[in-house]
Amino acid sequence: MTLSEAIRTMADEIVSILAGNMPTIHIFGSVALDDFRLGWSDIDIAVLTKHEITGQQADTLVGLRQVMLERFPGNPYFRLFEGGVLSLDAFLSGKEERAVYWGTSGQRIADSWKMDSFCMAELLDSGVLVCGDDVRHKMSYPTYAQMRDVVARFARIARHHGDSVGWLLDVARGIYTLRTGKVIAKTAAGEWALENGLCPDTGAMRKAVQIRKDPAKYTKDEMSVDTAVIGRFADVLGEEFTNCIEPGSE
């Protein structure tokens, strides 16, 4: 089963569970940006319904990834779906309402689900409609200040916890966003950083891009990097905040 087939199969199952609730399903993130890499990437999904999902629907959806894995043993994709299921009204208003969350660390029934500004930008700029009506015209594009706040929060985390080459690509993404107000794919961000000589450790960045393009060839140890390398690039990101001006505001 290909990635596209897995997305279609998962979407069909979700629609079946939410029969009568008119779900709209979008895929965003690395898949939509043509930057999905098996062994590294997730499959980001947003499922928005006409009405609040029922308790029975939530109970069925929360364990759907595991059910699909049992139905298709050995399939590498179903465990990678991450995102949320809730009504469009709750998504737009931010009000508390029954929702289902799928994440890297597990899944749960929650009383809300929200996207950060990076995910929202990805959804609005490049999200792929899988089924239902495209409702993105009802959503608001994140402000530059909101995206800057996410980058600042990430920079603090990277400085203290960054220990793999992926963090270098994320830092490059942050710099790109500060300069343009847009979100770029991780591979493209690394290549952009190399072209512009932004990373103090060029060799490490080249390695990050190489691994990102074919992660299955590398072990976890080969993907690791000294935290000092991440810290030096995070310093470059920190300097960007001093000079960043919202694009188009001059």
Number of domains in the chain: 2
Same domain as 12, residue 123: yes
Model pLDDT for residues 40-94, shown as the tens digit of each residue: 999 999 999 999 999 999 999 999 999 999 999 999 999 999 999 999 999 999 9
CA distance 173 to 192: 9
Q: What is the span of the domain harbouring residue 10?
A: 3-138
- The predicted pLDDT at position 161 comes to 87
- The predicted pLDDT at position 246 comes to 65
Same domain as 104, residue 86: yes
Is the full-model pTM beyond 0.85?
yes
Assign 159 a pLDDT band (cuts: 50, 70, 90): confident
- The predicted pLDDT at position 241 comes to 85
How many C-beta atoms lie closer than 10 Å to residue 76's C-beta?
Answer: 13
Model pLDDT for residues 227-246, shown as the tens digit of each residue: 999 999 999 999 998 776 66
Same domain as 175, residue 109: no
DSSP letters for 208-223: HHHHHH-GGGS-HHHH
Give yes or no for residue 180 having a pLDDT over 90. Answer: yes
CA distance 181 to 159: 22
Domain-ending residue, one of 76, 103, 138: 138
CA distance 134 to 128: 9
Same domain as 207, residue 157: yes
In a domain, 196, yes or no: yes
CA 171, distance to chain mean position in Å, is 15
DSSP letters for 80-101: GEEEEEEEHHHHHH-----EEE
Give yes or no for residue 247 having a pLDDT over 90. Answer: no
Phi-psi region at 219: left, alpha or beta (left = phi > 0; alpha = psi -120 to 50): beta
- The predicted pLDDT at position 102 comes to 98
Name the token pair of 72: 């298709």
Same domain as 172, residue 220: yes
Kindly report the average pLDDT of the chain as a whole number.
Answer: 94
In a domain, 184, yes or no: yes
State the Rg of the chain over Cα. Answer: 19
Which domain CATH number covers 52? 3.30.460.10
Residue at token pair 């009204």 = 89
Domain-ending residue, one of 138, 154, 183: 138
Please give the average per-residue pLDDT across 166-175, as a whole number. Answer: 96
Same domain as 148, residue 95: no
Domain-ending residue, one of 93, 109, 138: 138
- The predicted pLDDT at position 245 comes to 62
